[in-house]
Structure formats: structure tokens, C-alpha cells
Structure 1
Amino acid sequence: MNWLSSSSGVVLTAYHPSGKDQVVGESHGKGGEEATSSRRYGQYTMNQESSTKVKERLPFDRSGSQDSLDEVLSMEDYWTELENIKKSHENRQEGQEAVVVKEPDEGELEEEWLKEAGLSNLFGESADDPQDSIAFLATLTRTQAAAVQKRVETVSQTLRKKNKQHHIPDVRDIFAQQREAREKSPDGSESQSIGTNENKSQGKEDQTSSVAVENKELIPRVPEDAPASETDINLEVSFAEQAVNQKELNKERMPKIRGNDASLPSFRLPKDKTGTTKIGDLAPQDMKKVCHLALIELTALYDVLGVELKQQKAVKIKTKDSGLFGVPLTILLEQDQRKVPGTRIPLIFQNLISRIEEGGLETEGLLRIPGAAMRIKNLCQELEMKFYEGTFNWESVKQHDAASLLKLFLRELPQPLLSVEYLKAFQAVQNLPTKKEQLQALNLLVILLPDANRDTLKALLEFLQRIIDNKEKNKMTVVNVAMVMAPNLFMCHTMGLKSSEQREFEMAAGTASVMHLLIKYQKLLWTIPKFIVNQVRKQNTENQKKERRAMKKLLKKMAYDREKHEKQEKAANDADVPQGVIRVQAPHLSKVSMAIQLTEELKASDVLARFLSQERACSYPSQNVSGGLEGSSQEHPASSENSVAAHLFYLDFPSVNTHEMADVPQGVIRVQAPHLSKVSMAIQLTEELKASDVLARFLSQESGVAQTLKKGEIFLYEIGGNIGERCLDDDTYMKDLYQLNPNAEWVIKSKRR
């Protein structure tokens, strides 16, 4: 039996090495009871009861070709690394507490998913007012809306079973509001609806609920007749929508990993005129929306392709609050930022990489050859004591020892670098039908990682690529590196279930495959898909409309209250005014009201004069209304009256921003650069104008200290309009972006670190 070919379709859940040689059939009989008890909780740790003897591998079919031999040799790297990890764990002999992972109860998984997706107000106590989610739901694609609807239905049914006291909305009611809102839309835009049956056993149309999804320019559909390149990654259309359209065309499974880069295609991102958006380019409030949408999109993609996506949650346990090894990334960074403000990657991790690189990346067997176990143990203890004191002697650390320490650091993280929540989702990537879909899923998973995990993973992958770049001398190809690193990222942080030899092999091949993808396509994985950025733009636009409606309603209420108050005050004043006397109001002057006796000769000018005479008396001691200094009595009364009139005008009409009043012709943008010597410049938009051209114009006019600024130190930002803030890449065509966001401001500044 060929194990690699038989691994397709198997959902890999755990690796737990056993000290006893077992045949495949024994795991069902002897381990069944133990597997059942471990189904609810698992431990992120290595099993310590295994023997030191290297287990015999079950035979598997070999084709006899050189490719098959290379594959076997690469897998030997994997098993050797696993045995080294086992020995290292035994030598450490530290009672590190295992992270307990809780498998959610029925409905709990979907409830947690809705919270993570920013849709917690679709159920529970806040479900009575789901209006806040309407703008969000309106931006979803058909497959995304179906994923949300499926989980809302599950949560609603579960809560009904538990007889919750609060109101449980029907999923059809929630999405019906969205549909009605679209029908009332003044722009008359078309909408499409998809349906799901509340009772899946009945396929009747009268039981189908509709989810309205706008078919707008911001969320383009896949053209049916548009041939897509095999190696082009389309970022403009939802990945799940692409999967629906291409499901019948892409039925081939991922081939075996071969011993060279040619086994994986070289995917590319076609240039987008509005610019490519990378992780770190957006403002935090927009990045939060991106994460919500990425989770929904990932779930929709897995749903379409029939792959189970289960999130897990680590039960809170006591972890180390200081030190280097076995310390959560967040605590490590807090320690490091006290020494080096702005640090985003643990200092110990950076130092270990630097030490390995100082020894030369051409060293044969780098990462594969382990350091001496006792030296590693002693180095760990010494680092814990001396690292933050700055007294540790890095020159004494051998290169292979530093590599072993780096892998040990990753293994001993209390929670895996790929996170407890998404570790299984990373492992499940291998079960997606095509390499393109695997890449798309990894892209979304990288977006979903916590910042500290994502930044550390990026540093690791870049370091691994530098090792692979020297493969001719160090004999470490991308496959070798993937085989060595996979156990350190996956196998030491998997559910503690005892597995058969076949499942161990399947898990090994699968996780090494995912590791291979992470290394190979790392430059693509930190890109935020354009369709998600466009959905964020649409959400911001809808939220702005909602805020304007709320403000309009508030102003209307304030005007009504003011009018009511004035009427009441006028009625009270009129009751006190005798016959033949009028009361004149002047709310913007110091004398706000005056009773004036009506005579045959009284004119309007006389009334104004009386008020102005009172105004002068109040304003002269300090400063007159026109802004002149005390004693400027040469001012003509008429000019004083004009000053009062001007004063009244500015009270009624707030000053307008000079930037808004600037006479900027059509097709011209004004770019601000508050930190440069040239703080502002009007720039004509042309078809060929790029963000790099705008930066070049500013930099060419710099002088003095500012002249030392380099191109990579400052960036052009798109701020406001339908986006919070976005750093533009050099190849962004300004006219195309201006048409997408005409209300944005354009600012040159340094990048937020």
C-alpha cells in the first residue's frame, strides 16, 4: 500500500508517539477507550513514556525511481528530527504544564465563530437589535453569507434546545432585514439572494430563507468565459466564489512533494492599478474588519470544498511570567520592549538567528544536525540568567547549538506559533483539492494570526529561505528544511491521542507539505486580498451613511427642542411686557434681550443703535468686537457695526478649512507632507502617475537635514474617504485610486512600526 497516495481525504488530528511497537489494527482495539476519553480535552506536549528506540517503519510501496528515493530520504529527515525532539524533551526534565485544549460543545463552536467574526449581536441578549450588523452583512458575497447563515441557524437551534430565556431570533428574520434595507435603497442597485433550508431534510422552496447580497462593483463576480491562468492568483474575487466556479475543473489532488522547487508552481500576483495591500499597511480599525472578513472567507472556502474547519480554544492555565523559554510571546515582547521600544519579534529569537548566520549559512546540514544535548541544556540555563543582563557570551555558542536552541524556543512556546485556534486549520490545508486553494487558505490563515505570532513566523520563514538560498553548499533544499521544521511547528503542538503508524506517516507527510507551502509562497502570504479591502471600503461607506443619518436625526431633535424652548421663553416674556412695549432678542450679543417702548418716531436703526451702544460699553475695556486693541476709538461707528455683523456671521457659520476652500482644479490632488520642507504640493493626475512619482517629486525638493531621507523611509498614504488609512505601494496608479476613493486625503509620512 502506498501511504502517500492513501493519505488523501484523511483528516489528521493528532500525533502522539508511543514506546510500544503497534500494528495498525491494534490501535483500534487497545487505544479506542483512551481515544474516547481524550476526545474532549487534549494536551499540547510530547508523550514522555516513549522509549528511546527508533521505531521500525511499516513498509510502503516504492516505485524504484530516483524521485521516490529522494522522497524517502527526505522523510528520514522528518523521523530523525522527531527522535531528536524526543531526546531533547527528556533531557530538559522540566515539569512544564501542558496547555489544555477544550473541544467546544454543540453550538459553542458556532457561537464562538460568530463572536470572532464580529457578529455576536446576531444572537443572545443583543439579538433584539441586529441593525449594527446590517452594514456588515450587506458587503458579504453569496458564499460568505451562506457561511454566516449556517452558523446562525446552528446557534439559534442550540439555544432553543437549552431553553434560553432571552429572545432567539430566527435566522430568516435577521437576513430579511438586510433584504428589506436593500429594497429600500435609493440607488436602485440590483441584489441577488441565496437560500438555505431551515430543515435540510425538506427541499421545498417555501422553507427557504433569502440572504440579500449586493452585486456591486466593489465585489466583482467571476466572469464565466474568462480563462484564468493556472499560476495567477486572483485577489479581486472571493476565493470561495472562485472555488464554486472552478470546483468541477480542479479535481486533481496535490501531487507528492519532490526534492526540488519545481514540484510547486510559481504562483504570481497580477499587478493591480490601485496598488497591492500588505499586512501592516492598514489602520488598526480597518485591520480588525479585515480579520473578521478573513475568518468568514476562510470558513466559506472550507465549506465549499467540503473540508471541516474546527477552531479550538486553549483553557487558561498558569504560565511563566518571565524568562525566555516556555514564556508566551506577548509576555516576551513586553519584556523586550522595556529594553528596546518598538520590538515586534522576541530579542532572543533575533539573537539566535543572528548567531546562526554569523557561523555562515553554507554549513552542511544546518538545522538538520542537532547540537549536543547537555550543551543545549546548559546554554538554556545560562541564557535564562544572563540574557537580559547583557552578560551572555554569544561567541561561545556553536552554530548547530544555536539552531537547536532556535527550534527548542519554538517547541516550548506555551501555545503553538500557528496558534491554538488555527493549528488544525493549518493542518487541514493539505486536504484542499488544488495547490492554488491551499495557497489561498494559507493567505487567510496568516491574516488571522495574532500580531506577535505573525511577525515571528515571518522572521522565521525569511530566515529559512536564506538557508535554502545556499542549498548547493549546505545540502538543505526547501523539502529538507520543511521536513526538519514541520515537527517543531506542528507535531509538538497536536492533540495527545495515540496514533497508528500509518496515521503518523500521513501526519508527517501532511504537515511537511504545509511547511513547504509556507516557505515557498511566503512572499504572497502577507498580502491582503483586494476583494477584502473593497469589502472594508464598502463597510466604511455604509457606516458613514449610518452616522450621517444619526447626526441628521440628532440635529433635527436639537432644532425642535430649541424652537420649543424659544416659544416657551417668548410666551413668558410676552406676559411681562406691558402694552406698547416690544422685546427685542439678540442672542449673539452681550445684551441678549431688551424691552423697547414703541413711539411714533422709533426706527429699526434706533433699535440697533441701542444694542450697539451696550455692546461697545461691554467690549471696549478689553477688546472690541472687530478685534482691535483697547483705546482704538478712531474707529467709525459704521465699521463697528460691520464688525458686529461679521462677528454674527462667523458665529452662525463656522470657519471652513482652508484646504477645502483651496481652488483645486478637476484632475488635481493636493498632497500633504507635514514633516518635509515642502509641506504641500498640487499634483496633476495622469494615466501613468504612480505613488513613487509623487514621492520622487517631494524628495527632489528636500534640502538640509531632510535631504538625507531615503525613498524607503517615507511613504504616500491614502487617508479618509472610504478607508481609515492605507500605505500605498510604489506601483499604485494615482488616478485609478483617486477614482476609487475621491474623498481621500494624500499624506506623505513615515510608516508606523
Structure 2
Amino acid sequence: MNWLSGSQGVVLTAYHPSSKDGALVGNKAKQGEEASPTSRRSGQYTMNPESSKNVAEKPPFDRSSSQDSLDDLSFEDYWTELENIKKSRENRHEEQEVVVVKEPDEGELEEEWLKDAGLSNLFGDCAGDSQESMVFLSTLTRTQAAAVQKRFETVSQTMRKKNKQYQIPDVRDIFAQQRESTEKNQNSSKFLNQTVWNGWSHQDMKEKKVPYGSELDSDRTNENKYKEKHDLASDLGISEKNSPCLPEDVPASETDINLEISFAEQAANQKETSKEKFRENKDEYNSLPNFRLPKDKTGNTRIGDLAPQDMKKVCCLALIELTALYDVFGIELKHQKAVKMKTKDSGLFGVPLSVLLEQDQKRVPGMRIPLIFQKLISRIEDGGLETEGLLRIPGAAIRIKNLCQELEAKFYEGTFNWESVKQHDAASLLKLFIRELPQPLLSLEYLKAFQAVQNLPSKKQQLQALNLLIILLPETNRDTLKALLEFLQRVIDNREKNKMTVRNVAMVMAPNLFMYPGLSIKPNEQGEFVMAAGTASVMHFLIKYQQLLWTIPKFLVTQVRKQNTENHKKDKKDKAMKKLLKKMAYDREKYEKQDKNLSDADVPQGVIRVQAPHLSKVSMAIQLTEELKASDVLARFLSQESGVVQTLKKGEIFLYEIGGNIGERCLEDDTYMKDLYQLNPNAEWVIKSKPL
């Protein structure tokens, strides 16, 4: 494997393991000496002879000399950080609790995957109660459906081999009712020749205008591919009309991120139609594109904007979508589970995030980010973010050890003297806090999935995968990661003076995010180079695109809306069938009809009633126009407030879409109300503050 450094074209052509520790790469070389420098880790690098002459003739490197030289040795920052981590562990002389990762049995991963995807009732004792899963599956895209069927079949085969006492249902049997319903509404011979999938015909499919999900076998004909995909959709109870299509007459900009169509569907379509142009230059040190989100009239949805019940559905769909995206490229997505790990139930360092927050919320209700984490960042910023080498230069090891012990004893008592903490020591403590979390900040379950992002062929797909992974993180991990990335961006904003570019920060922080107690640092393996480049690249993406990564793709929200709509229909149907509730249902319907008639008389066509229970004007009828935005609605209510209250409320209250086909959704200011009303005409509109 060749690694091209930006420093005078140095090429590392091979790595030769050695049992002895070599000299540090950053040590000063003797003048005129052309011998290959040895690594700080065990082993040596063989270098291109022509390039090594130039390296030997260079004067000793001064980190403060220029910004370019910092970027040239960005990999050096990674190895330096690894060495600092190793020394820190040795100096603390504390027994690290090893994370025991259970090796799963055959089919166990797939069974766990189905549970995490919200499909546990497809097998086992709950296999008969599949109504909710039928609704869920009816909203899936083709690639998502293929991912589900692949895992379900593996679980079924495994259970049969283990001779389970209960009968393992076949996927066709589970959804026979839906399939029969579909067959009644279609003529099978005519169906293949008619329009399917929102206007795509069978002929279109033969001409490769439609994605084929995760199917990668090029030896099969397009007609067979279509038949198999149709069978799959039918077997799983997936409606053809719910699957998104890729209109070819709407070219997307290279920097646009399409959130309306499934990422896996986009990838599958591109793989079929543009094989020769698909793979990008994998050099992660090229300048990354300035990706942007196209404006959506119904408003983009951020993490934290949805009600918990809808967010749970989004997470299930995100897992399926991520798996489908990885399946398209043959990338294995495996969960890791820590099955045995003794953790501290109090303290600061080496304590689970959930325990820390439980401690902190007793002192500060509603706290979402550990207090010690916030205080360390605050102390670093108090020293000024213009300090050269911030985050890169380590604090003194002995001082760090003593500060840890003192913090553990005095932090919650409020007697710790923060003025005595040097800035570089605070930065080292912050990295130590992240590194010593019992489970990684990126979560043990998805750490390998984060690492595997680098295997996706395009930067856009890498960004899409990271978007899904951020959604899948536990809430406490996600909130803490967001605070960290925002801090890192503030450091980078001062790069002209602190000499810390996004590349340097990524190199320094990557080992801290991708290592955890029990993970040994293994030298003399060529794969370590791949990990260094890959994890630093992921870290680079996380920092650069953090504003995009906390957006929930619209196609996932659309799928949730469809699930809610179908569930409402089923609930109404079930209630109507129960004789004991017939009179109650009749009375309720009569009351709702009367109430609706009164409401209709009060609110004319094209007008919405907005409620604001915590403002002076508690209700207002607002005429919908093509240009009316959510911000305009808020402005009308705030104009009724006094000057002081208006100032206090601005930025603290938001317009919410509640009910109809969504549980609850906070609207961004640029949401066009008429477009959203047409999408969800049964919603109520309420102005309130965000919950803590």
C-alpha cells in the first residue's frame, strides 16, 4: 500500500515490523544522512530513495513556522496522539475494565438486528401478532425490503437448524393476507406490463431506469431482476406505489444532498447506470465538497424536532436504510454487544454517560450533557482558542493524573480550583474523559459501522451513512458528540493563530473517539495505516458536515407519516368491529362531527387556527397564502406581546405541527404553511417552547 504525504512527495512504500521500538519520526535527523527514519511505533518505513534525499536535506521542522507544514505532517499528529494515549495509560497505573464483546452465534446478529429494527414479532413467540409489522413493512423501499428479507431468512434457517419447539413461519406465510389483498386488486399477467412504482413501467425497468435495490448480480437479466424484486415486494407485503422513483429529468447538483429519495435507492440506481463513473478518488485529503440541503417547502426536520414515538420509528427505519445502503456495496454491517462489563456507578472518569447525567440532573434538572464535559470545554475556551497547538500539545502526565484524582474528590463539592488548571491540561483531560468512557462516544454497537463508512465509494454516500449513524446513536451520546463537534469547530475557526486546521484536529481527535478501555493498541500491522486514514477521514466528515448530519432525511419522515396514516386506518377499522364500543364510537363520531361543523363555520376554507396557550393572544385564525412561512405566523403572535416579553420569547418558542399523520413536529422558520397544510390537512397548529 502506498501512502503519499504532502511533504515533498514522500512515499511510504512498505512497513517492516520490528520487535524493537524505533526512534520517533519527528526527531532531528543527522545532516546529510539518508537512512530511512524509523517509526515511533514498532517497525520501520521504507521510503522512496529519491524523495528521502529531499527529506534529509530539510531543516528541522518547526511546528509554528507555517500552516502548510502542519498539514504536511497531519499523520504525524495521529501517531503522536497514539503515543500520548499509551503513555497516559501507563502513567495512570489503573486497571482498565476490559470490554467483553460476545461472539454471536449463527443467526444471532440477524435476530438482534430485526429486534433493533422493530420487527421482533416476525419470529418467536410473538410471530402471530404481525399487524403492526405489516404496516411497517408496507412503507419500505425495495432496497430496505431486500435488507429485511435477507436477515429474516437467515434467522429462519438458523432457528430451523436449532429445532426450535415453535414453528418458524415463512415470510410468505406471515404476509399472506397482504399478498392476497394485493392479488385481488391486480391481474398478475397484466400487472407486469402496466405502470408500477409511481409511473415506472416494465419497459422502463428493462431499460434500467429504475433501481434494483441491493441486487448486484450482473449475470441475471433485467427482466429477471424485476420479477424477483416484484416477488420480494409482494412476499413482504410491500406496496409498489410506496416505493420512491428516481426521475431522470431532474439532474441534481454535485453538491446537493437529496433527502427525498432513499439513499440506498439512489446508490442502487447509480450503480446500475453509471458503473464506469461511480468510484471517486479516495484521497481524503482532497478538499471536501460543500454539500448543501436543497430547500424543502414543507421544512427540513432536525433531530429533536419529532415526538419520541415518531423518533423511535425513524431510528428503526434508519437502521434498515443504513443496512440496505451497505448491502448495495457488499459492506458487512455487524453490531457489537458488550455482554459483560463492570462499570463505576459514580465519579467522573470511566463512568457511563447515563450515570453521569443521572448524577448531574439531580443538581441541574434537564441537563443533557455531562457537567464535567461542559466545564472542561469552558476552561479551554477561557484560556483563549488562539493558543498554538491547542488539543495537539499534551499536558504533563503527572499533573493530569493528579488533576483527575482532585476532580473526582472535589468537583461535585464545588471546591475544585479551576484557575490552577492549565489550558493544555484541560484539553488533555477532555480527551481523557472521552477516551475512558466505558463504551465509545460513537457507541460500541455502531463503532465498526462508523469505521466502515470509508469503504463507501463516494463522499456523498459516506455523508449519507454518517447521517443515518448519527440518528442511530443513543440520545446522550448524540447530544455529547454534538457539543464536542461544535467546540472543535470553534477551535478550527481560529486556525490562523492556533495552527489547527480541520485536518490536524481530525488527526488528533480520531484516536480518542475510536478507542475505548479494553481496546489494545496493536503496532506492526499494516491495517493500522488504514485505520488511521479511515478514522481521521470520518472525524473530518463529522466536523465539517455537522450542520447537515443532524437533519432527518425527508424520506424517513414520509415513511413515518405513511405508517401513522395506516395505523390510524386500522385503529378505526378495529374499533368499528367491536360491538361493545359501537355506541361509544357512534356518540364520539357524532360529537366530533358537530365539533367539526362548528370548527368549519369558525375557520373558513384556506384558513388555519393556530393556538398559543402561553402567549397573550391564545388563538388566531390565519389565512394561508403561497408565501406564508412559519416565521410569519410566529411574528404575528409576538407582535401582540409587550417589548420585553417579545424579546424574551423570540427564539424560545416555535410553531408545531401536531396530529394528523405525525405525532408532533417542530417547524423550522422557512416552512411554507400552505404546502405543509396540504401534506397534513388534519394537523393542529400550536405555538410553544421546546421541551427540555
Instruction: Give the TM-score band, short-chain normalised.
Output: 0.7 to 0.9
1:533 Cα deviation from its structure 2 partner: 0.3
8 Å Cα contact 2:43/2:524 also seen in 1: no
Structure-2 separation of matches of 1:154 and 1:202: 23
- 1:718 equivalent to 2:681? Answer no
Considering only CA atoms, is the larger Rg found in Structure 1 or Structure 2? Answer: 1
Alpha carbons 2:489, 2:543 under 8 Å: kept:
yes
Q: What are the equivalent positions in structure 2 for 1:296-335 lying under 5 Å apart?
A: 296-335=320-359
**Equivalent residue of 2:657, what SS?**
strand
**RCO greater where, 1 or 2, for CA within 8 Å and sep 6 or more?**
1
**Shift in Å at residue 560 of structure 1?**
9.9
**Structure 1 residue aligned with 2:292:** 268
Q: Superposition RMSD on alpha carbons, in Å?
A: 3.3
C-alpha distance 254-21 of structure 1, shift in aligned 2 (>3 A): farther
**In 1, Cα distance between equivalents of 2:98 and 2:588:** 68
- Which residue in 1 is equivalent to 2:19? 20
Q: Which residue of 1 aligns with 2:171?
A: 171
Deviation at 1:19, TM superposition (A): 9.0
**Aligned equivalent of 1:59:** 46
Q: Distance in 2 between matches of 1:650 and 1:442?
A: 46
- Separation in 1, partners of 2:689, 2:296: 23
Aligned to 1:691: 630
**Equivalent position of 1:386 in the other structure:** 410
Change (3 A) 1:63 1:526: farther
* Paired amino acid for 1:120: S
Query: What amino acid is aligned across from residue 668 of structure 1 in structure 2?
Result: V
Is the 8 Å Cα contact of residues 2 and 60 (structure 1) preserved in structure 2? Answer: no
Aligned pairs for 1:405-444 (under 5 A) are 405-444=429-468
Q: 1:133 to 1:383 in 2, by over 3 A?
A: same
Q: 1:22 to 1:379 in 2, by over 3 A?
A: closer
What residue number does 2:76 align with? 76
Does the aligned pair in 1 maintain the 2:629–2:672 contact within 8 Å? yes
Q: Give the counterpart of 1:707 among 646, 656, 678.
A: 646
SS at match of 2:232: strand
Q: Which amino acid aligns with 1:474?
A: N
| TM-score normalised by L of structure 2 | 0.83
Query: 1:228 Cα deviation (Å)?
Result: 1.7
Q: Shift of the alpha carbon at 1:3?
A: 3.9
Contact 2:245/2:261 (CA < 8 Å) preserved in 1? yes
Which amino acid in 1 is paired with 2:232? Answer: S
Counterpart check, 1:210 vs 2:232:
yes
Aligned partner letter, 2:599: E
Q: CA deviation at 1:87?
A: 0.3
Partner of 2:535: 511
Given the alignment of the two structures, is residue 149 of structure 1 paired with residue 154 of structure 2, yes or no? no
Report which stretch shifted further, 292-301 or 121-130. 121-130
Q: Alpha carbons of 1:700 and 1:207: their partners in 2 closer, same or farther (altered >3 Å)?
A: closer
Q: 2:283 aligns with which of 256, 265, 278?
A: 256
> How far does residue 21 in structure 1 lie from its aligned partner after superposition?
4.6
Structure-2 change in CA distance of 1:287 and 1:725 (3 Å) = same
| 1:354 to 1:82, Cα distance in 2 relative to 1, 3 A | same
CA contact (8 A) 1:282 1:726 kept: yes
Instruction: Measure how far apart 1:305 and its partner are.
Output: 1.6
1:219, 1:535 within 8 Å by CA — same for their partners in 2?
Answer: no
Match of 1:123 in 2: 123
C-alpha deviation, 1:130, in angstroms = 1.9
Percent identity among equivalent residues? 73
What secondary structure does 1:158 align onto?
A: helix
Q: Does residue 683 of structure 2 align to residue 740 of structure 1?
A: no
Matches within 5 A, 1:542-621: 542-554=566-578, 556-558=579-581
* 2:288 counterpart of 1:288: no
Quote how far apart the aligned CAs of 1:656 are.
4.8
Q: Deviation of residue 55 (structure 1)?
A: 3.4
Cα distance change on mapping 1:242 and 1:53 into 2, 3 Å: closer
CA contact (8 A) 2:608 2:624 kept: yes
- Assess, with a 3 A threshold, how the Cα gap between structure 1 residues 553 and 497 changes in structure 2: closer, same or farther: farther
Deviation (angstroms), 1:491: 3.5
For this pair of structures, how many residues does the alignment match? 620
Q: Take 2:639 and 2:404, find their aligned partners in 1: how far apart are those partners?
A: 51
Report the Cα offset of residue 101 of structure 1: 1.1
Q: Deviations over 1:660-697 (max 9, x none)?
A: 36521110000000000000000000000000000000
- Determine helix, strand or coil for the equivalent of 1:552: helix
Distance 2:423 2:214 in 1: 58
How many Å apart are 1:256 and its aligned residue?
A: 2.1
What amino acid sits opposite 1:256 in the alignment? D
Paired AA for residue 612 in structure 2: A
Deviations 1:244-266 (A, max 9, x none): 111235522443233xxx61010
Q: How many angstroms does 1:315 deviate by?
A: 1.1
With 282-291 and 98-107 compared, the bigger mean Cα shift is at 98-107
Any conservation in 2 of the 1:240–1:301 contact (CA below 8 Å)?
A: yes
Cα distance in 2 for residues equivalent to 1:135 and 1:195? 20
The alignment partner of 1:491 has SS state of coil
TM-score of the two chains, using structure 1 as the length reference? 0.77
- The structural deviation recorded for 1:327 is 0.3
Structure 1 residues 388-410: Cα deviation after superposition (integer angstroms, max 9, x where no partner): 00111111100000000000000
The CA deviation at 1:493 is 6.1
Q: Counterpart amino acid of 1:55?
A: S
AA in 1 matched with 2:162: K
1:343-354 maps to which residues of 2 (within 5 A)? 343-354=367-378
Counterpart in the other structure of 2:110: 110
Matched, 1:135 2:138: no
Q: Is residue 273–residue 731 contact of structure 1 (8 Å, CA) maintained in 2? A: yes
Displacement of 1:221 in angstroms is 1.4
**Is the alpha carbon distance of 1:655 and 1:379 closer, same or farther for their aligned partners in structure 2, counting shifts above 3 Å?**
same
Residues 61 and 745 (structure 1), Cα distance of their counterparts in 2 relative to 1, 3 Å cut: farther
Instruction: Map 1:473-552 to 2 at 5 A.
Output: 473-492=497-516, 496=520, 498=522, 500-552=524-576
Gaps of 5+ in 1: 6-17, 24-51, 563-648
- What is the rounded CA distance, in whole Å, between the counterparts of 1:131 and 1:284 in structure 2? 21
Q: CA deviation at 1:504?
A: 1.1
Q: Secondary structure at the match of 1:58?
A: strand
Per the TM alignment, residue 427 of structure 1 is displaced from its structure 2 partner at its CA by 0.2
